[in-house]
Chains A and B, each alone.
Chain A
């Protein structure tokens, strides 16, 4: 017998089928009068920054004004013209090390916890983590209240990877002092488009 068979047999014997799956649609989950406002407040609370793109404002100009010092910028978004590295064209993900700014798109935001759903839409997803600073473009009408709504909405493409990101990488592992910028992006700026 393989270990798989042994384990499954043992579990089948032990699992008595006694408990039914509970109803989950009846969870009275938090909703907000203004989900966008709540999303912005939560994002700030988790260490992120939220900026609105004004009507007629050029996204590249806005990003430049936010990161005047960024030299190496990586993005595969067609509307981003200031990028000098395209993560779709990078052969070895390690080449993205040293990226000052990564610019990616988020599908929707979650008001209760500041999470943004980021399905992988580039060959090298490392750009979402390895960049010193991360900018996420997020359509302002795409905000859900809570994770129940969020998990009804997420979808995957062929890359088979997606992540919720809520603010910058952080740690309190040294003496419980909160420090932004552990192993991944040191700052996260959400631009509402």
Chain B
């Protein structure tokens, strides 16, 4: 018996060379994160503050949402509210079509992915161009991201080189050097920026006190997308609002250190207004389930997530099974949890993709109890009398990932063996989610 995850992991592991590269690559990102954290004596203090700021903001979310939208409107920004993905897509299309937009350039946004905005717009005649290099690559390939920060991590330079040859982006067949390919993508995307009618960004943070949308990128593509066209749309999930700049300082310091092991992203951009007098800036605040999750005290803390990617980088199961082994579009520990909140019925198979090693909890900059949450979901399954079955699924999945030959190297071997045994099984057992699983199954997919 196997879950979607264990089946997919099996095929991922067939390519030993690649799967071992994947494992090592993410472990080295984890080590870069550690080096960054160790440089700051205040790191653990920052994590505690970050967690508390989020808990505070979430427990006063209505007030901060009103403050944010009020300030944005004072800045001349048009603020829209979308209850769900359908409304979000309609709003975006409404803005674009009323401006006669034919081409939209956009920076990376997991929210637009969540709402499946690109196919919606494309079906209505609007060309959408992803401008983050990784997102562009998978868009050209017709694929989905396999990691929230490194979306094309499942492809190697030959895959990208061949893709660029096919798409006419590169002009030297056989040249698969990453510097050359990046340069050719730069030239191609430059043409897209120059001919776009509107630019779109996601948001890492929304600042209630000022109405700013804050976007962090390494490529500068959010800034390119919004400094050439005159129309800007920024999409933000409700949970991305934080109180003020003092709070932002805490998150800005942690986001990139935790995610990629850099001291900062190259660009931390603050958008407050339309860029010129005859331009427009729109912000769309998106709920799409978030207010329901906020009302669920057992799982509310998932909303603290700042999408740094750190929990997947460190996760021994993610590293050895890849992003496509999960049924939800966000993989890793946070994806398992978000998938369960989105639809327990559709995504409960992902619960098998966790050893309860709690490595994710050690690195999460906002201290989400990711493994504890997963454990509590498993307990809800046991309430339905399916626990033995699911435990069987889990142990099958784990033995697959952990007993596979050729995956262990000196750097991770010792740690991996430790990971097989859940450390704090017992204390978790005392916690139960407030909603029984059968109720969740009935309520999901609303």
A residues touching B (Cβ–Cβ < 8 Å)? 2-4, 6-8, 10-22, 24, 27-30, 42, 45-46, 93-94, 97, 110, 112-115, 123-126, 128-130, 146-148, 150-152, 154, 156, 159-177, 179, 181-185
Contact = CB atoms under 8 A, between A and B. Distances in A.
Interface string B141-166: 00000000011110111001000000
Contact of A93 (B58, B151, B227, B271): B227
A151 B221 contact: no
B157 A174 contact: yes
A176 B87 contact: no
B183 A11 contact: no
A117 B111 CA distance: 28
Contacts of A156: 270, 272
B294 A15 contact: yes
The 7 closest A-B pairs by CB, nearest first: A184-B220, A160-B273, A182-B219, A173-B134, A160-B272, A113-B263, A14-B295
Nearest to A6: B83
Contacts of B247: 24
B62 A15 contact: yes
Given A171-B218, A173-B152, A46 B263 contact: yes
Determine the main DSSP class of A at the interface with B.
loop
22 contacts: A3-B81, A3-B82, A10-B294, A11-B61, A11-B65, A17-B59, A17-B60, A22-B52, A24-B53, A28-B41, A97-B190, A147-B253, A151-B245, A161-B269, A161-B271, A166-B263, A166-B268, A177-B179, A182-B186, A183-B131, A183-B219, A185-B220
Most buried by A among B75, B160, B182: B182
Given A123-B276, A129-B223, A150-B249, A7 B45 contact: no
Interface residues of B, number: 90
Interface string B59-75: 11111011001000001
B100 interface: no
Contacts of B189: 183
B285 A7 contact: yes
B270 A184 contact: no
